[in-house]
Structure 1
Amino acid sequence: METRFTINISLQGPGGKITYGKFSLGRDKKEANEIFSSLKGNAENVSGCSLKIEFLEEIMGLPVPIGRINCCLDELKENIAIISKEIFRIAHLENGNIDY
């Protein structure tokens, strides 16, 4: 069974959820969990407009939510930098366990 881990970034507003970013974290569950755990934000639900980061395990192409955090714009900026740095590290320094 093929399993992949991803992070989706979305905006939750009055009209619903708009997903506008997706990062592939590869197949290593421990490494993907460590990346998600290092992100800034709050697990509590926020009413109204909010930025959401969703951690998903894709099993045979079907997304299964594992975790979710809400964050402000400054936290999102930091989180994208963290995710990008980790993807670069895995792909280039650890001989790539990232799906393209």
Structure 2
Amino acid sequence: METAFSITVTLNLKHKKLPYGKFSLGRDKVSSMEIFSMLKGRSGSEHSCSIQMDLTQEITGLPVPIGMIHCSLEELKENVSVISREIFRIAQLEEGEIIPLK
């Protein structure tokens, strides 16, 4: 069974959700969960307009939500840095498999 993990960034606007970014984390659940746990944010949203980050596991092409946080713009900046650093570490230093986005 093919499985892959990713983090999606979504703007929650007044009347709609606007997904606009996605990070592929590879196939390792432990690494993906560790990366997501490093991110800053809150589990609940205080505002109707917010930035949401979702950890998703895709099983045979179907997305299954695993975790969700809401973050500020400043936290998003730090989270993107953490995710990029960890993807680089896994792909380059540990020679792990990161699945390219399609």
Q: Aligning the two structures, in what range does the TM-score lie when normalised by the shorter sequence? A: over 0.9
Runs of 4+ in 1 over 4 A off after TM superposition: none
**1:10 aligns to what?**
10
SS for the counterpart of 2:20 is: strand
Matching residue's letter, 2:10: S
Gaps of 5+ in 1: none
Name the aligned partner's letter for residue 58 of structure 2: E
Aligned residue in 2 for 1:24: 24
Counterpart Cα distance in 2 of 1:17 and 1:9: 10
TM-score by length of 2: 0.95
Where does 1:1-100 land on structure 2 (aligned, <5 Å)?
Answer: 1-100=1-100
Distance 2:29 2:95 in 1: 17
Runs of at least 5 residues in structure 2 that lack an aligned partner in the other structure: none
C-alpha displacement of 1:45:
2.8
- SS of 1:58's equivalent in the other structure is strand
Tell me how far apart the structure 1 counterparts of residues 46 and 98 of structure 2 sit (CA, whole Å): 31
RMSD: 0.8
In 1: Cα distance, 2:61 partner to 2:46 partner:
29
Whole-Å separation in 2 of the counterparts to 1:88 and 1:46: 33
Amino acid in the other structure paired with 1:21: G
TM-score for both structures, normalised by structure 1: 0.97
User: Cα distance, 1:15 vs. partner?
Assistant: 2.4
Q: Which amino acid aligns with 1:98?
A: I
For residues 53 and 46 of structure 1, what CA distance do their matches in structure 2 show? 15
Q: Distance in 2 between matches of 1:94 and 1:63?
A: 27
For 1:23 and 1:96, the matched residues in 2 are separated by 15
